[in-house]
Amino acid sequence: MILRFPVLAGLALSVGPAFSQQIYDIWATTWDRAQLFTYTNLSPNPINFVSPGAIGQADITIEETPLAQSMVGYGASLTDSSALILSNLKSQNSNNYWSILNTLFDPTDGADAAGFSYLRVPLGASDFSAKVYSLDDVSGDTSLTSFNINNAPSYLFSVINDIQGINPYLKVHIIPWSPPGWMKDSGTMNGGNFLSQYSTVYANYLLKSLQGFQSHGISVYAIGIQNEPENSNPTYPTCKISASQEAQIGSTLRSLMNSNGFSGVRIIGYDHNWDDAAGYPVQLMDDASSAFSGVAFHCYAGNFTQQDSFHNAFPSKEVYFTECTGEYGSDWWSDIKWYMENIFIGSVTHSSKNGLMWNLALDGNGNPKLPGTSSCGTPCRPVVQVNSDGSFMYHQEFYSMAQAGKAILPRDVNGPFGQRLHLTIGGARAQGLIATALVVLNWDDRPGGTWNPTPIQTTIEFRDMQATYTFPVGVTTLWWYAPSTSLNASEEQGQAEGKQQPFTAWVHADVNSERQQPVEVVFQ
């Protein structure tokens, strides 16, 4: 099987046929930016796994079973503002436009690209839109005869279509920042509370949104009821929706989706901060578990470990991490460490299937924003900054996600995405690394209490074999290749007797519309 074991210092894992257990491919982003998602191919001198010896300064032991959870991708939100920035760039400098999209989204094995495969898209206006609008702004239109998916700007759909052309695995997650204002006590999309009398109407509004995206050639992976349902802000689209209201809307929507060709689309609930993980999302599942595939979290309050409160209560439900933003003026390396500790390692090791940032693209001032919004008082930093002259730059949000994202991409076309494995870290300098079997962070920049970024010589234990690699301070993603293990107990005996050997094939399966890890089957 092919094992892509990314490390932060990062380690990654995936499966497919190969010949030996050797590390060939390395991507690295270091604290001093000497390497920025830099690729190194070790062929023809790979790092070999050998018989175990003494452990290194740190020792990572990877457990092949049981699998923790399958991963579905990394990415960001394509707000109206992000889509506008990119669309304008396409007109101004198409080469730079396609360079950005390919670097962000190309999943091809061997491509110099991050391969992001998860895109979150607001339904209607957010705080990063040119104006406040919904998809039906006719007050009292309970029959939704004035619903129009094309109230959303055309450039939103065209950019998504361009991304789909680059990444066939793209998962699109749509969610409103507010229902239409006439469904709320405020009478506007900016702030206020949802009125329960419109629950069925709103469920039909969300169904029409799915159909609208489909009309633009976009298959939706997941839909949400309300972004940040515990937040009301009168300066931009927000709405308070209680857990019981969301449960009622979700139950109606689930029935409508199942009856209209969207049974495979997930409904993801909550989509708010870690700090209420034991409250709202638990109540939501208590009220309408069968309607929801899982819940999503944001980083703005609480701690990633609080995801456990939900996961322990509903271990069969999915966990997603869907929003966090950087702000201009912060420290590059401190941000890398925070993102890895809290999101791309932390949230993932606490059951999240993905990791997303907020705006995909903005300018150097965190614009354009909705006029009058109070959000992002310190300008929000995008994954990629596009300047007025058509030049661009990637920020720390990109490099953090790129290292993690590279680890889970399919090795072969239409192959499986990576799955998180369990691991343990030991050794005298174990505290210098944090890890999943996708990513390991060497954050040992003050080993003696003073600034002294120090590499850590590390042994990696896998299948009773051992490899050694010295991780610089930063993020490193390793891909390695391990021999497939036979499922035929009589194979060695057959070889000894000179009999014709069975052949093997990799069999894939879809479960709930999600591609699973391949299984090696032996055919006689």
| pLDDT for 496 | 38
Specify the 3-state DSSP secondary structure of 304: helix
Cα–Cα distances in angstroms (integers) from residue 442 to residues 7, 57, 326, 349, 420, in the given order: 9, 12, 21, 16, 19
How far is 130 from 410, CA to CA, in rounded Å? 37
Specify the pLDDT at position 437: 67
Judge whether 390 and 327 are in contact, CB under 8 Å: no
In the chain, the amino acid numbered 123 is L
Q: Is 36 helix (H, G, I), strand (E, B) or coil?
A: coil
- DSSP string across 98-144: HHHHHHHH---TT-SS----EEEEEES--SSSSS---S--STT-TT-
Tokens of 204: 């039909």
- Name the nearest CA neighbour of 426 among 470, 462, 460: 460
Q: How many angstroms separate the CA atoms of 136 and 146, rounded?
A: 6
What pTM did the predictor assign?
Answer: 0.90
Please list the rounded mean pLDDT of every run of 10 residues in the chain (524 residues). 42 42 92 97 93 97 87 97 98 98 94 96 98 98 98 98 97 98 98 98 98 98 98 98 98 98 98 98 98 98 98 98 98 98 96 98 98 97 98 98 92 84 94 85 94 97 94 93 51 40 44 47 42
| Identity of residue 274 | W
196-241 tens-digit pLDDT: 999 999 999 999 999 999 999 999 999 999 999 999 999 999 999 9
- Cα separation values, 362 from 135, 208, 215, 266, 519, Å: 24, 29, 27, 29, 43
Asked if 89 and 460 count as a contact pair (C-beta separation under 8 A), the reply is no
Residue 477 in contact with residue 439, Cβ under 8 Å? yes
Tokens of 20: 């030996």
Helix ranges (H only) for 289-385 are: 307-313, 332-339, 346-349
Beta bridge partners of 76: 119
